[in-house]
Amino acid sequence: MSNNATARPSILRLDNISLTFDGVTKVLDGVSMEMLAGDTKIILGAAGAGKSVMLKIALGLLRSASGRIYLFGQDVTDFTENQWYEVRSRIGVLFQEGGLFDSLTIEENVAYPLVNRSNKSPEEVHPHVEEALRFVELAHTLDKFPSELSGGMRRRVGIARAGISDPDLLLYDSPTAGLDPITANKIMSLIIQERETRNATSAIVTHRFQDGHMMANFRYNSESKRLERIPDDSPLRQRTRFIVMREGRIVFEGSERELDASTDPYIAKFSMQRSAH
Amino acid sequence: MLDILKSPIVTFQEFILLAGRATANIVRRPFYGSDVILQMDLIGVGSLPITILIGFFSGAVMALQMSRALSQYGATGQVGQITAITLVREMGPVLTALLVAGRNASGIASELGSMKVTEQIDAMRALGTDPIKKLVTPRLIATCFTLPLLTIVADFIGIIGGYLVAVPLLALTTSSQYWNNAWRSLEYNDITQGLLKPLVFAYIIALVGCLYGMRTTGGTQGVGRATTQAVVVASVWIFVCTFLITRIFVNI
């Protein structure tokens, strides 16, 4: 198993990343982590723990004060904005509120990555857009504007947009924040489905332990078109790791079982089992 | 002491950097032509009715005020000259710019501010688009193109407003004398500063609006703050710059 793991290429590596805002507040403090191809990382932590900032650093949207960032095997720390555009074309992102452009229709929003990067016309990419929206069950909203959709629907459009260019790395920033449990489960099952169908490496930032539990224990069965429990011996289980962040530091990294076994009261807050009791 | 100066200096530096990048993007691909047209419609055509209204009344008020002062010296025939010079050199450019600042610097700041707080600007960067190219440059081009045109309209309508007060209403002078005076009094110096000012003001309005919008933090409250700051800062700089430009042209 360990031989297999080392053979997988590195997708994202953060090496001792630190960042301070206004020269005083430490947002990230020596954060290191690595994601290999096929890995799923569930990043948990209280609000303000630096989870979203870590994603933005991985995307080059924020610059770290120190440390190095490696994406797809290359050191991207000192890349210029133009060089970053190239790297970002291999990453799909879902922002907290979906990050959809208000002035564009749903179709234009989802088509944006394709039209923008490949210089294809909107007509050429239309079948892809329709397919991506059908995947999130929103094919009927093509001509609508984001303001006409509910919060959950906007998130689903965001998922369609994140996955449309077939990225190697998918990043989800609090995909279920502020949603009711039923919608949140729907979003999570779409994310799991996207992980399986695209075979992409995914990182998900969340403060809901249920999301992590679903990601770690369920997979999408394309034949029965349903979620099913991941068998205990599946490599997928090994590749799913939990990260708990606190005040800009990673205080825990490990499997769900290790998370459940942790005695630290802060870490235990994010354990499904403890919280159930 | 240094801390107090730090924030305005940093803001000024950001403004200069944004101005440089937005200007350089004018000649760099890709061009967002449809965005430029849309902004021209919003800023130019959208501001036209209010520009006409304000232009008309500023000219009319100018003629009214001057009627008393000029009659003391028996020089009421000069009303056309005074209205034209004041409007073309100063009132036209400044009033139009203040209007557009109130209307569009706030509009730009709130639109970009909302985009910032809802992570649309981050999304744009993540999807491979330079927000300065896509959002700032089209607004800059549109404002630089439309503000001088709006100023010309305001100047002309203002002179008509002055005419209506001076000739039909108060009979200070004759129609031909008014227009003759207005026309002859304007020199190239006046026209040049009257057209240079709106160009400089356009830079201030578009870039201050964009800068404060893109710097927005702190949710919807931050958007409100950014909008107010953009209008205040743009208006102050319009006055500072009109003083500086006038100072230069007075000596020429």
Q: Which residues have a Cβ under 8 Å from the Cβ of A142 and sit 6 or more positions away?
A: A105, A106, A107, A129, A130, A133
Residues of A in contact with B130 (CB under 8 A): 81, 85
pLDDT > 90? residue B205: yes
Nearest to A93 among B114, B126, B130 (CB): B126
- For A35, list phi and psi in degrees, rounded to 5: -120, 125
Give the pLDDT confidence of B64-96 residue by residue, as tens digits: 988 888 888 888 888 888 889 999 999 999 999
Tally C-beta pairs within 8 A across A and B: 49
- For A98, list phi and psi in degrees, rounded to 5: 100, -35
Q: Which two tokens stand for residue B44?
A: 């130019």
Going by the DSSP 8-state scheme, the letter that residue B171 receives in this structure is -
Cα dist. A48→A22, A59, A86, A206 in Å?
Answer: 15, 19, 30, 12
Residues of A in contact with B123 (CB under 8 A): 93, 95, 99-101
Nearest to B128 among A88, A95, A102 (CB): A88
Cβ atoms of B19 and B125 within 8 Å: the answer is no
pLDDT at A1: 41
Going by the DSSP 8-state scheme, the letter that residue B76 receives in this structure is G
Instruction: Mark yes or no for CB contact B130/A117 under 8 Å.
Output: no
Residues of B in contact with A81 (CB under 8 A): 125, 130
Q: Which residue of B lies nearest to A91 if distances are taken between CA atoms?
A: B126
pLDDT at A194: 86
- Shortest distance between the Cα of A13 and any Cα of chain B, in A, equals 18
Instruction: Mark yes or no for CB contact B122/A101 under 8 Å.
Output: no
Instruction: Mark yes or no for CB contact B125/A88 under 8 Å.
Output: yes
CATH topology for A2-90+167-276 is Rossmann fold (3.40.50)
Residues of B in contact with A116 (CB under 8 A): 127-129
Distance CA(B19)–CA(B206), nearest Å, equals 10
pLDDT > 70? residue A143: yes
Cis bond upstream, residue A231 (ω within 30): no
pLDDT > 90? residue A238: no
Q: Which residues of B touch A (CB under 8 A)?
A: 114-115, 118-120, 122-130
Distance CA(A237)–CA(A3), nearest Å, equals 16
A274 pLDDT band, cuts 50/70/90, is low
Is the whole-model pTM more than 0.95?
no
Q: Which two tokens stand for residue A74?
A: 């290359």
Nearest to B119 among A95, A113, A117 (CB): A95
- Where do the structural domains in chain B lie, given as residue ranges? 32-251
Handedness of CA A192, A197, A199, A202 (dihedral sign): negative
Instruction: Mark yes or no for CB contact B125/A96 under 8 Å.
Output: no
- Shortest distance between the Cα of B122 and any Cα of chain A, in A, equals 7
Give the pLDDT confidence of A66-114 residue by residue, as tens digits: 899 999 989 999 998 888 988 898 899 999 888 899 989 999 999 998 8
Give the percent of chain B with pLDDT over 90: 60
Collapsed DSSP state (helix, strand, coil) of residue A76: coil
Give the mean pLDDT of B216-243.
93
Q: Which residue of A lies nearest to B123 if distances are taken between CA atoms?
A: A99
Handedness of CA A206, A210, A216, A222 (dihedral sign): negative
Q: Which two tokens stand for residue B241?
A: 């710059």
Give the percent of chain A with pLDDT over 90: 24
